[in-house]
A and B are shown apart, each in its own frame.
Chain A
Amino acid sequence: MVQKLDRLKESPSQTAGPYVHIGTNPNSVEIKGVWNEDLGSRMLNTQTLGERIVLEGRVLDGSGAPLKDVLVEIWQADAQGLYPSPQEKRGKADPHFAGWGRQPVDPVTGIYHFETVKPGRVPYRDGRMMAPHVTFWLVSRGINLGLHTRLYFADEEEANAQCPVLARIEHTRRIPTLIASRSEANGLATYTFDIRLQGEGETVFFDI
């Protein structure tokens, strides 16, 4: 026998189930008064720096139907490309920006909705800059282990073309599944990003 490595195994994941919102967004399912505000429901305040944007879309299953019980979490850098995390060693992020958001989808339409700022660029491991992106994490009934993906912005063509992560996608036809389209109304940009779990146009998911 060889020596033991004395490591533990990660706790295995299980599905979040159909009632995940009881624990994560109780106010959204009419469990009032346990805590005042659902965690992750507000990412900004009036002093937050950067361009305000909206992220919207649906999560679709292999039949094309929107998931109405999915929970979407996002994590992103601030407008200057700094993460509001103690692990961020490059500088101090905007104290008025949470970086993390969490929303249930609309129970009728399946649309998620985040009000945030457009993130700045952050470096890849070798120092090259990645294109501006927002990390998405999805959990729901039928998903056994949370799925990671990234939203990139359609109006960042040059940065997207140079992004070392997008460049790693061998099947280049799949790159557009990570790029959110832009529309504008009353001076506010909305980026639409549908996530397809399976089948035609399946979104690229990451093992991170």
Chain B
Amino acid sequence: MSDDGSYFQRDRAWHPPAFTPDYKTSILRSPRFPLLSLDNTISELTGPVFGDALLGPLDNDLIRNYAKDGDPIGQRIVVYGRVLDENARAVPGALLEFWQANAGGRYRHRKETYLAAIDPNFGGCGRAITDSEGRYEFRTIKPGAYPWPNGVNDWRPAHIHFSVFGHAFAQRLITQMYFEGDPMIWQCPIVRTIPDKAAIEQLVAALDRNATLPMDALAYKFDIVLRGRRATMFENRPEGN
């Protein structure tokens, strides 16, 4: 058996559908025609790779990578986990990018007008590449909840955005990480674009007291699963790629 088949079909009943009217912006930004199903060609089975040479020493340290004259204010945390595929195998060399608001829920972005203060020592972006066992980690400040113009009083739960590159463009994924025990997860129209409660729980990072650094930072574990690839047991057609 060799891993040269296509990626497992995406379970689009597990992912959020495109049209989720309680999340208002999706109404005009969702296609009405069905997607055209396309068994992976080489254009989807390949993808960019990024070596460790890309990374600077502070790329996974959001406490220090924008600091001007001190540390940012807020709850110091470490976020760590593994990137796996649906076959439960590690995905080494995966580039993760993350971005988030500061402790008060304020993003450093020109379009952002929320009255909570900018933190002069916090940028809010970082990146990491998984090691040979698929592991990554970074440290940051726990983001605050954030109000947004959807319903008249909608608030996002505390969250960190993740962008993930696996080994193929077919695995490309952007998602959000939430924090264990946050009651606002279950009230959020963006979270609730995901129809299945078990799928939502897959995005909730667990507080890990064993990985917590005493007198320093709390730790949260967040594993990410990318599409698995079919192993070819029997060839039933000539492969062009």
Q: A12-B200, A75-B47 are in contact. Are A205 and B161 (CB under 8 A)?
A: no
On whether the beta carbons of A10 and B26 are closer than 8 Å, the reply is no
A86 to B86, CA, bound (A): 21
On whether the beta carbons of A204 and B175 are closer than 8 Å, the reply is no
Q: A34-B65, A122-B41 are in contact. Are A16 and B161 (CB under 8 A)?
A: yes
Chain B residue at minimal CB-CB distance from A139: B174
Chain B residue at minimal CB-CB distance from A16: B174
Chain B residues whose CB sits within 8 angstroms of the CB of A122 once the complex forms = 41-43, 241
Chain A residues whose CB sits within 8 angstroms of the CB of B40 once the complex forms = 208
Question: Is B84 at the interface (CB under 8 A from chain A)?
Answer: yes
Within 51-86 of B, Cβ neighbours of A (below 8 Å) are at 54, 56, 58-59, 65-66, 84-86
On whether the beta carbons of A165 and B41 are closer than 8 Å, the reply is yes
On whether the beta carbons of B226 and A11 are closer than 8 Å, the reply is yes
Q: A168-B38, A206-B35 are in contact. Are A30 and B110 (CB under 8 A)?
A: yes
Interface of A is mostly: loop
Within 106-150 of B, Cβ neighbours of A (below 8 Å) are at 107-112, 123-127
Interface of B is mostly: loop
B9-52: contact bitstring with A at CB < 8 Å (1 yes, 0 no)? 11110111110100101111111110111111111111111100
- Number of B residues, CB within 8 Å of A: 93
Within 22-66 of A, Cβ neighbours of B (below 8 Å) are at 22-24, 26, 29-31, 33-35, 39, 61-63, 65
On whether the beta carbons of B31 and A10 are closer than 8 Å, the reply is no
Residues on B lying within 8 angstroms of A by beta carbon are 8-12, 14-18, 20, 23, 25-33, 35-50, 54, 56, 58-59, 65-66, 84-88, 97-99, 107-112, 123-127, 161, 163, 167-170, 172-176, 190-191, 193-194, 196, 198-200, 202-203, 224-228, 237-241
Given A7-B87, A15-B26, A69-B111; 12 other pairs, CB 8 A cutoff:
A10-B14, A10-B86, A12-B196, A19-B111, A24-B97, A24-B163, A33-B66, A99-B48, A125-B241, A146-B173, A198-B29, A207-B10
